[in-house]
Amino acid sequence: MGTTIRPRERDAILQALRAGVVPRVGQQHVQVGRAEEVKALLSDVHRIADGGSAFRLAIGEYGSGKTFFLNLVRSIAMERKLVTVHADLSPDRRLHATGGQARSLYAELMRNIATRAKPDGGAMGSIVERFITAALTEARETGTTPDAVIRTRLASLSELTGGYDFAEVIGAYWRGHDTGNEQLKSDAVRWLRGEFSTRTDARAALGVRTIVDDANFYDQLKLLARFVVMAGFGGLLVCLDEMVNLYKLANTQARNANYEQILRILNDSLQGTAAHLGFILGGTPDFLLDTRRGLYSYAALQSRLAENTYATGGLVDYSGPVLRLANLTPEDFYLLLTRLRHVFAGGDANAYLVPDDALTAFMTHCSSRIGDAYFRTPRTTIKEFVNLLAVLEQNPGTDWAPLVGTVNLVAESNPDLAPLAEEDGSARPYATDGSADRTEPGVGSNSASASSLEDDDLATFRL
C-alpha cells in the first residue's frame, strides 16, 4: 500500500465515489477482494488474445459490485492489449430490436471503444489508423504496394457475413488516407461507429449498400473483433451492464428475441467459432434465475447456464459461464475503508485524517443504522465515509469521534424491485417504434446523474 496517488487520480476516484458511481480510473487503489474472479477473467482475456472466445455472466445483487468488477476486467483487458467496448443496456439499447434499439446499443458501444492508449473511449479512429500503419510497414518490409497488402488483409474479412461492406469501408478510409481526403476518412469512421442512419447516405458517402443496423448488430461485432487483430490488438472484449433491462421488457416476444441473441453469442463462444471475441454481461440474480422473465425462462439458456450442482455450500466453480460475485464481507469493507483513507491522503500515511479506531467506529455506527447492508451493498456507506473525511480535512482540529455518530444513513433500495409492467402479450407487436415494450425509462440504468443530483452531501454533518 506504499504507493503514491497522483492528485488528479485521487480527485477522480473521490469524486466518483461521492457521486455514488464506480471510479473510471484508479480503481486498483480502492479494490478489495475479487481475487478468484479476476483470475478467471484473466484466463478469458488470454484465451481471447489467443484467438478464442469467452462468455461470462457476472451475477450479483444490487450494489454488490458488478459495475466495479466489469470496469476492473476492462482495464485488465486493455492492459493486455485488447480493445474494449462497453455500454449499459436500457429501454432504448438492446441486443435485439427492430426499432433501432440494437443499433443504438452498437453506437453506444462504439462511442466507448477503448484501448490502452485511449482508455476513455473514442478510439475507433486511432484503431483504423493503426491498421493502415501496420499495412504500410508490411508493404515496406516486403517490397509490395500498400494497396496489395490492404487488399489481402481485407479479403479474409470479406468471407464473413457482412464482411464485404466492412472491407469496402476500410478501403474507403485507405483511399482517404492516400489522397488526403479527410471527409472520406471521417465518413468511414462514422460508418464503423454505427452512426449512419440511412443506406442512402452511406451509399452517397462511401459507396456501400449497407449500414450497421438492428439486424447485423452481432455480425458487426464479430467483424470488428477480426479487424482489431489486423490492427495489432489481441481481440475485442464486449462489456454489457444493466442486463436487467431485458428482464424488464414487458413484451414476451421482444424479451425472447433478446434471449435468443444471447443464446447465439453463448453458442458461438462454447463452440469457439467467434474468434478473438469475448463477452461479459452484468446482471442481477433475477435477470438470470427468474423462470418467468429471466434467462431461465428460455429453456435452451437454462440448460446451458445451469450452475454446477457440485458448487454449493461454500464450494465454488469459476470455470462456468455464470460467475457469481460474492458479497463483500465486513473484513473486505474494513480494508476498503483503509484504502479510502489512503487515497484521500494522496498515498501519504502521515497525512491520514483518522486513526484505525475511527474506521471500526464508523462500521459500528453503520451497522447499527442499516445492518449488514453497510458492507454488502456499500455504495452509500462508501459515499458517507468519503464525505466524513472531506469535512475533517476542511475543518482541521475537528474531533472525528462525535462526527461519526452524526453520519446519516438510509439503506439503499433496489430500483429494479419496483413493480414491472405486466406482459402485454401479442396485442402490440414489439416491432413498431420500440415504445410498445418499454418499461419505465431510466429506472435501473445506473446513471450517474441520479445520485449526483443530491449533491448537498455535507448537509448531513453539523459542526
Where do contacts with ligand ADP occur on this chain (CB under 6 A)? 17, 22, 30-34, 60, 62-68, 336, 378-379, 382
261 binds, among Mg ion, ligand ADP, none (CB under 5 to 8 A by kind): none
- Rounded to whole angstroms, the Cα distance separating 77 from 265 reads 19
Position 205: which residue type?
A
Q: Is 64 in the site for Mg ion (CB under 5 A)?
A: no
90 binds, among ligand ADP, Mg ion, none (CB under 5 to 8 A by kind): none
> Shortest approach of ligand ADP to residue 45 CB, angstroms?
18
379 binds, among Mg ion, ligand ADP, none (CB under 5 to 8 A by kind): ligand ADP
Q: CB-wise, 67 or 245, nearer to Mg ion?
A: 67
> Shortest approach of ligand ADP to residue 63 CB, angstroms?
4
Q: Which three cell numbers stand for residue 182?
A: 479527410
Q: Which of 31, 53, 64, 67 binds Mg ion (CB under 5 A)?
A: 67
Closest-approach residue to ligand ADP (CB): 65
Mask 433-452, x = binds Mg ion (CB under 5 A)? -------------x------
The CA radius of gyration of the chain, in Å to the nearest whole number, is 24
382 binds, among Mg ion, ligand ADP, none (CB under 5 to 8 A by kind): ligand ADP
Q: CB-wise, 169 or 281, nearer to ligand ADP?
A: 281
Listed residue (223, 148, 215) closest to 192, CA to CA: 223
Per the CB < 8 A criterion, the answer to whether 241 and 70 are in contact is yes
Q: CB-wise, 261 or 377, nearer to ligand ADP?
A: 377
Question: Which residues 6+ apart lie within 8 Å of 346 measured at CB?
Answer: 4, 5, 7, 10
Cα-Cα-Cα-Cα torsion 170, 241, 24, 45, nearest 10 degrees, comes to -60
Listed residue (413, 394, 388, 409) closest to 337, CA to CA: 388
Question: Which residues 6+ apart lie within 8 Å of 38 measured at CB?
Answer: 72, 73, 76
> Shortest approach of Mg ion to residue 439 CB, angstroms?
17
> Shortest approach of Mg ion to residue 450 CB, angstroms?
12
Which residue stretches of 211-298 are H helix? 217-230, 244-247, 252-271, 285-289
Q: Is 100 exposed, middle or buried (0-12, 13-18, 19+ CB in 10 A)?
A: middle
Greatest extent of the chain over all pairs of C-alpha atoms, in Å: 76
For 137-171, b/e burial (b = at least 16 CB within 10 A) is: ebbeeeeeebeebbeebbeebeeeebbbbbbbbbb
Q: Quote the DSSP letter at residue 239.
A: E
32 binds, among ligand ADP, Mg ion, none (CB under 5 to 8 A by kind): ligand ADP
Q: Is 269 in the site for Mg ion (CB under 5 A)?
A: no
In sign, the C-alpha dihedral spanning 253, 418, 92, 286 is negative
> Shortest approach of ligand ADP to residue 137 CB, angstroms?
41
> Shortest approach of Mg ion to residue 73 CB, angstroms?
13
> Shortest approach of ligand ADP to residue 253 CB, angstroms?
29
> Shortest approach of ligand ADP to residue 373 CB, angstroms?
11
434 binds, among ligand ADP, Mg ion, none (CB under 5 to 8 A by kind): none
Per the CB < 8 A criterion, the answer to whether 229 and 276 are in contact is yes
Q: CB-wise, 353 or 443, nearer to Mg ion?
A: 443
Q: CB-wise, 22 or 225, nearer to ligand ADP?
A: 22
Q: CB-wise, 233 or 333, nearer to Mg ion?
A: 333
Q: CB-wise, 210 or 446, nearer to Mg ion?
A: 446
**Interacting residues toward Mg ion by CB under 5 A:** 66-67, 446
